[in-house]
Amino acid sequence: MTRPHILILHGPNLNLLGRREPEHYGDMDLAAIDAMLRDLASELGVAVESFQSNHEGALIDRIHAAQEAGVGGIVINPAAFTHTSIALRDALLGVEIPFVEVHLSNVYRREAFRHRSYLADAAVGVIAGFGAESYALALRALTQYIQREG
């Protein structure tokens, strides 16, 4: 059996992690988070690929390409697009790839506009508030989900 392939998507401003509002997002930068996820993936026996963009259309194109490539699951931190993007929701629903929504911060302890997600009800699950560990928890949970469902 080929190893399941999981795509990690990071939305806008996450390229600034490490120096951006560390009180909310911690001090780990994106490269370190991606390296941590690659290590975890080899432990779990899955392949991961990461992609970050500040542009909604680029994220949507990457989601479409994931379907072509036979990606089995997506871990996505849509960042601010969580609260605004019907287009991202439609892309994820359109490709029918199971996904987990991730947030470093606990968005429900923050401003009211962050409490709304256009993606959450279509996700397999949502993990928020554990800093970089949110991504690791999501990768573990999605791997188990794919192994169970696939």
Residue 52, helix vs strand vs coil: strand
By the 8 A CB rule, do 9 and 51 touch? Answer: yes
Residue whose CB is less far from ligand DQA, 46 or 119: 119
The active-site residue, picked from 5, 10, 25, 55, is: 25
Candidates 105, 123, 127, 136; binder of ligand DQA (CB under 6 A) is: 105
Q: Is 115 exposed, middle or buried (0-12, 13-18, 19+ CB in 10 A)?
A: exposed
How does strand 99-103 pair with strand 125-128? parallel
> Which of 80, 122, 137, 141 is in the footprint of ligand DQA by CB under 6 A?
80
The DSSP bridge pattern shows strands 47-52 and 73-77 to be: unpaired
CB nearer to ligand DQA: give 67 or 84. Answer: 84
Give the nearest distance from C-beta 2 to ligand DQA in angstroms.
31
Amino acid letter, residue 72: G
Determine which residue in the list 90, 114, 124, 126 makes contact with ligand DQA, applying CB under 6 A.
114
> Which one, 47 or 54, has the nearer CB to ligand DQA?
54
Spatial contact of 150 and 72, defined as CB atoms under 8 Å apart: yes
Catalytic residues: 25, 103
Chain residues binding ligand DQA by CB under 6 A are 13, 77, 79-80, 82, 103-105, 107, 114
